[in-house]
Chains A and B, each alone.
Chain A
Amino acid sequence: MDATSSINDIIVGYAKEKGFHQQTLERWLNLAEADREAILGLAQGLKPSENHLRDFLDWLDEISLRDGLSPRDVLSSEPLVRIFSDPRLSRSDKLKRIKEEVRRLRFPRLSRIEDAIQQTVRDMGLSSRIQVIIPPGLEGGTVTVQLKSASYEELKRLVVELGRASETDRARRLFELLRGDG
């Protein structure tokens, strides 16, 4: 048995054990050998669900089309290796953070705007009882503001705080970023 068929056998066995769709398995097996192996390392190390694995396959494929980086190049990049080997992180934390990193590479401009919006919200210095929720993918262009209050007095205080915050340049900046004017 050569190395390729051995890796393929391991991938087929893994996909079978996890009950993955044939379509997912075929995409995985159609990758170049080094990429197949890199995905296998990711799967064995982080045990992603099939949906997560499909996201990885999609995003890595699309990064490769756009930037010419192979899935192995991306998965062996320094930030991802550091997360993967961090002993302080649980497996699910590693999966979450690695997925965030790959998403950041896949959607660089969207991520930059999301980061700028999150930073602007933090800079507004609102208390933890006021939450500014940004729509997924910035789609819709509207923010949801949520107040949590246990009393009438607290509600009044939060409304005043929010009112003051809404008068600042930071609040305006938030909507400029959402409109793409940033």
Chain B
Amino acid sequence: MTPILARVETRMANELQEVVVEAGSEHSPIFRNLKRALPHVPFTVVEDPKASWASLAGAHDPMGSGKKRLFLVRHRGEFLKKCPGSEGQVCCNYFVVNFASNCPMECSYCYLQEYLANNPALKVFSNMGDLMAEADRLFSRQRRFFFRIGTGEITDSLALDPYTGFCAEVIPFFAAQPNALLELKTKTDRVEGLLGLSPKGRVVVSWSMNPPRVIDDEEHLTASFERRLAAARRCQEAGYRLGFHFDPMIEYPGWEADYREAVERIFATIDHRRVAWVSLGVLRSTPGLKRIMRQRFPSTRLLAGEHVSCADGKMRYFQPLRVSMYRKMLIWIRAAAPAVFVYLCMESKEVWQQVFGFAPSCEKELGNQMLARE
């Protein structure tokens, strides 16, 4: 095992101090899987876990401390919701289901550092049955609508899977749905739990991709480029459709050669005809996130990019620069994989127009275009 593969596993094996279980959750399949996968970690059952995770707020580094203890709790409220997107930007009509909160990896730019600043506990939800029942009700009620659903909004879809067995619980359910597609988005190579399952065209496994240099410098504890690519190939061979997200794209001297090579390597390894989509999005930050990044990753050079404030309050590379980045990526992707569907994440209609020569008229149009590629 290489040191890179060992990274996230090392954190789970060596740094995870405790699994705190909310009373009642010890009867769930997730509890059983965690017990089996983490025999060396003490499990504590408590009536009210909130007191434990509230104490994190006072820690020196709440986000870092939050990743050292895993909470298995019931999720109260709805599991499924519309992806919030970003105000005024073209949206792809995506739904998100949150089966966990926070992530054991440490990307310097991760927006969760700000988004979960007041609630940084690493949580997995035990009531998977409620999740599937809720999804079943929604899909049955709206049979004429096709749902694209992702689990990677506030956690990595696969980082915890070897411990929770989440995918083995939900993939058979999604594989049986006539009007839903599940996307599992990851920066890991933890695909072992997927390979023996039959996705029946209803599951897309997608990788957040960056050139090796960016992965090494900014995506700490994640799998290397090579390992992500090897895992993608294994998933394709096992019958899964794939997605690739160049998001966040980082601009630095020499970025063109690095990204071009990354695109070429991906499509030299993967059959592009079975790629569901590729998305592009540049680094986004907010003043609050920049403050946190300065504290947690003081030497990151990401803060030194030429970012300006955009209409949605997020900071991005100034528009002519990012349009030029997207256009170049599009040329390289089209050269390597002519038929693959490419879209922009969290960008305005003006940017779409300048990159593609058109902009989707509404979110349904973009969502339908993506599904039409099936």
Instruction: List the interface of chain A (C-beta within 8 A of B).
Output: 23, 58, 61-63, 65-66, 106-110, 113, 136-142, 177-182
Contacts and interface: CB of A to CB of B under 8 A. Distances in A.
Contact of B354 (A63, A113, A177, A179): A179
Main secondary structure of the interface of B (DSSP, over half): helix
B319 A139 contact: yes
A177 to B, nearest CB: 7
Given A61-B294, A137-B309, A141-B350, A180 B321 contact: yes
A110 B306 contact: yes
A63 B294 CA distance: 14
A58 B319 CA distance: 21
Contacts of B304: 62-63, 65-66
A139 B323 contact: no
Given A61-B294, A65-B301, A109 B321 contact: yes
30 contacts: A23-B291, A61-B303, A62-B303, A65-B299, A66-B301, A66-B304, A107-B308, A107-B318, A109-B306, A109-B318, A110-B306, A110-B318, A110-B321, A113-B318, A113-B320, A136-B308, A137-B308, A137-B309, A137-B319, A138-B319, A139-B309, A140-B350, A141-B319, A141-B351, A142-B350, A179-B354, A180-B319, A180-B320, A180-B324, A180-B354
Contact of A179 (B310, B323, B348): B323
Nearest to B303: A62
Q: How big is the B interface, by class?
A: 20 to 34
Contacts of B320: 113, 138, 141, 177-182
Contact of B306 (A65, A107, A136, A180): A107
Nearest to A23: B291
A136 B350 CA distance: 15
B187 to A, nearest CB: 24
B367 to A, nearest CB: 25
B300 to A, nearest CB: 8
Contacts of B300: 65
Nearest to B324: A180
A137 B307 CA distance: 9
A141 B354 contact: yes
B339 interface: no
A138 B350 contact: no
Contacts of B299: 65
A106 B306 CA distance: 7
Give the interface centre of A140, A177, A182 by most chain B CB atoms within 10 Å: A140
Contacts of A61: 294, 303
B59 interface: no
B311 interface: yes
Nearest to B299: A65
A111 B337 CA distance: 36
Contacts of A23: 291
Contacts of A137: 308-309, 318-319
Contacts of B290: 58
B184 to A, nearest CB: 34
Contact of B319 (A62, A66, A140): A140
Interface in B252-310: 290-291, 294, 299-301, 303-304, 306, 308-310
Contacts of B351: 141
B185 to A, nearest CB: 28
A71 to B, nearest CB: 14
Contacts of A109: 306, 318, 321
A68 to B, nearest CB: 11
Nearest to A140: B350
A23 B290 CA distance: 14
A109 B318 CA distance: 9
A139 B308 contact: yes
A141 to B, nearest CB: 5
B348 A140 contact: yes
A142 B308 CA distance: 16
B283 to A, nearest CB: 14
Nearest to A177: B320
Nearest to B300: A65
Nearest to A135: B319
A142 B290 CA distance: 28
Interface in B13-47: none
Contacts of A110: 306, 308, 318, 321
CB-based closest 5 A-B pairs: A180-B320, A137-B308, A66-B304, A62-B304, A180-B324
Contacts of B350: 140-142
A168 B242 CA distance: 48
A63 B310 CA distance: 21
Contacts of B308: 107, 110, 136-139
A153 to B, nearest CB: 36
A34 to B, nearest CB: 18
A94 to B, nearest CB: 25
A65 B307 CA distance: 15
B252 to A, nearest CB: 9
